[in-house]
Amino acid sequence: MHRSTSDNAPVQYLLFLGDTTEHGYAKTAFGLRDWAGDRCVGELALPAATVTTGLPRMSARQAREHGAGAMVIGVAAPGGLIPPSWVPCLVEALEAGLDIISGMHDRLADVADVRAVAERHGRRLIDIRTPPPNIPIASGQRRAGRRLLTVGTDCALGKKYTALAIARGLRARGIDADFRATGQTGIMIAGSGMPIDAVVSDFVAGAAELLSPAAPADHLDVIEGQGSLFHPAYAGVSLGLLHGSQPDTFVVCHDPSRTHLLGYPDCALPSIEAVIAHTVALGRVTNPDIRCVGVALNSSALTTAAAEAEMAALQQRLGLPVADPMRPGAQFERLLDACTP
């Protein structure tokens, strides 16, 4: 998906933000900007949108002129639906010569106007949230190799960024580590993975086993977490991923600026201690030796001084390394030490 069929050069993206007003729901756009920025030429948003990636605003036709080959739906709204208000922009992109890449649960080809225009212009409609066929049920059998899973106090707060940063940091140390994507954005960045929240529930743990198969003893798979064990809507996905991943270690991801679950104002954010305890208790079903090795803090809403103070306080409280993976330094190196097999 990252390669063009004509010259094997990386496909350039136009990021579509729709009418998004919540930063957390545009995580696909931000993830591509931060981890595949060399492939992003600009952004397109509807007038009601208040979120921006900071990339140049341009039309689909302008993006095509700047070398874009596809428009990526950069929004992951609850339910994964494609609203009717987006359809004119999707059609315009196809008419401008762009393919469309979507990580939504709704299939692009199921939108009649989009399908008709794509067929007329010979453009591709690429749905990332399409699991492979014949996923088995989980065996529950322990397998060779090492695994680390990122888990969270909530959704959309840094599990993907943390897994990517840890995998990259460990590889820089010469450690055999791979990032394993479980969500649409991670798959777009890595070029492969398992869209775990699109798998039928009976097969989620089996899909996680496929994602991280047996490996040499010194190999580490760093698995992107999904949802939260405390989330009223998505805990089932988190649990299946935990059981199938059989992680030896896990890192808790947390945003200290949140007081409640994103989009659920009546659901208080769980404590980090509660997430650690629940993850260990539930993870022991498939790996009795599971343990927490650290905390990844999303301190994007804090100043450098406030972030350092928060990390120091949490480290003293928990007795674990605490770092923001997007703030390189001694704290992150200590977290990498703890993640090293």
137 falls within a domain: no
Averaged pLDDT score across all residues of the chain: 94
88-99 residue pLDDT tens = 999 999 999 999
* Separation of alpha carbons 208 and 199, rounded Å: 10
**Residue 197 three-state SS:** helix
Residue 129 is predicted with a pLDDT of: 92
- Domain containing residue 25: 12-127
| Domain match, 252 and 318 both | yes
Number of domains composing the chain:
2
In this structure, the chain runs to a length of 341
138 falls within a domain: no
Positive or negative: CA dihedral 177, 180, 184, 188: positive
33-73 residue pLDDT tens = 999 999 999 999 999 999 999 999 999 999 999 999 999 99
| Domain match, 241 and 332 both | yes
* Separation of alpha carbons 73 and 188, rounded Å: 11
* Separation of alpha carbons 104 and 303, rounded Å: 34
Q: Evaluate if pTM is beyond 0.85.
A: yes
* Separation of alpha carbons 304 and 29, rounded Å: 24
63 falls within a domain: yes
* Separation of alpha carbons 177 and 184, rounded Å: 21
| CATH number (domain holding residue 273) | 3.40.50.300
Strand arrangement, sheet containing 322-323: 177-180, 220-223, 146-152, 249-254, 291-297, 322-323
**Residue 134 three-state SS:** coil
155-209 residue pLDDT tens = 989 999 999 999 999 999 999 999 999 999 999 999 999 999 999 999 999 999 9
Boundary of a domain, candidates 127, 158, 174: 127
Indicate if the pLDDT at residue 272 is higher than 90. Answer: yes
| Domain match, 60 and 183 both | no
Strand intervals (E) in 169-319: 177-180, 220-223, 249-254, 260-261, 264-268, 291-297
| CATH number (domain holding residue 107) | 3.40.50.720
Contact 261, 167 (CB under 8 A): no
